[in-house]
Amino acid sequence: MTARTPRLSRLRRLTPGRGEDGVGRSGRSGRRRGATPKVVALGGGQGLSASLAALRRITGDLTAVVTVADDGGSSGRLREELGVLPPGDLRKALAALCGDDDWGQTWARVIQHRFQSEGDLHGHAVGNLLIVALWEQLGDPVQALDLVGKLLGAQGRVLPMSAVPLELQALVRGHDPARPEDVDTVRGQATVALTPGEVLSVQVVPSDPPAVPEAVAAVLDADWVVLGPGSWFSSVIPHLLVPELLEALMETKARRVLSLNLAPQPGETEGFSPQRHLEVLARHAPKLALDVVLADEAAVPDRESLSDAAKRFGAAVELAPVARQDGSPKHDPELLAAAYDRIFRMHGRIGPWR
């Protein structure tokens, strides 16, 4: 146990619906028949958006915990100028949680809209400006995001993983093609995501960032935690680098699903096999246990090696068709929802949720 355990214990007791022993009063052993599962999804960018678009179809109790290390584009400009959390990935998560009705889809388009101009507004997303304005008005990032979610009619809650903006740093071998064996430090999420060479590891600055208490509480109170898909080093692994959040992931009674990408990402995971994604995850969080590793069946050429890598986490591998049929490396929300629903049924679901 680390020195953070007492704080997590206090959070566990304060989490709504939890008893003194930390087990939810409607937990896995006693959840009433027909109850919706509490699901927490961790990630950032397009990968998290894909997961949320799927999960909102199968649960009415959904929380997104989002990375806050983005330093590119509109988010980077607002972060540098105003000293705020980067709002872009939070905005994308809110858009993914918008409903399929006219209200939800209209607001999803509005907050994703980017201004095109010759002036200072060029490239800024409407949702980024809305979120930052509410942060300045309310002085509370969580309250502001909850208010945006209420405006949008979002089918879930969006939380930042840390209360402070983070800088991502990576050790990269061959970042300079002229020195292919040298290891350099590459700084900034936008740079790491597209770096040439082999990413060996990542860290965040500050190295001991405070987790958002509501995010820790959500993980502790969840029935299921879903990590990924997404940019592996810049959106997925950073959650494991926030000490309080990592400990909550290890302490929670929830079952944990790791959702793999459909293809390696040019730059940070170029040439990675599915099992190598698990290997680098283990290097950053060697004590983390998983229950299920989900992968697209067409993206796994060596099923035995993936199964062996998953066993090191204590996890089973579930293969399912989750990619769009147009051949693009993007998840189909309906197929991904079906895969998650099947996993929830096979690995701990009690009774129908809907």
Given a cut of 70, whether residue 97 has pLDDT beyond it is: yes
pTM of the model: 0.89
Lowest mean pLDDT among 4-13, 69-78, 254-263, 266-275: 4-13
pLDDT digit string, tens, across residues 183-229:
999 999 999 988 889 999 999 999 999 999 999 999 999 999 999 99
- Sign of the dihedral defined by the CA atoms of residues 57, 63, 67, 68, in that order: positive
Going from N- to C-terminal start, the domains of the chain cover 5-67+214-346, 69-155
- Alpha helix locations (H) across 18-125? 45-55, 73-82, 88-96, 102-112
Q: So what's the pLDDT on residue 268?
A: 86
Q: So what's the pLDDT on residue 294?
A: 98
Given a cut of 70, whether residue 39 has pLDDT beyond it is: yes
Q: Tokens 């959904």 appear where?
A: 62
Pick the CATH number of 5-67+214-346 from 3.40.640.10, 3.40.50.720, 3.40.50.920, 3.40.50.10680: 3.40.50.10680
Which residues 6+ apart lie within 8 Å of 179 measured at CB? none
Given a cut of 80, whether residue 5 has pLDDT beyond it is: no
Mean pLDDT on 20-31: 37
Given a cut of 70, whether residue 252 has pLDDT beyond it is: yes
Residue 147, phi then psi, degrees to nearest 5? -70, -40
Q: So what's the pLDDT on residue 121?
A: 86
pLDDT digit string, tens, across residues 109-163:
999 999 998 888 898 999 999 999 999 999 999 999 999 999 999 999 999 999 9
Mean pLDDT on 65-88: 95
Given a cut of 70, whether residue 45 has pLDDT beyond it is: yes
Residue 278, phi then psi, degrees to nearest 5? -70, -35
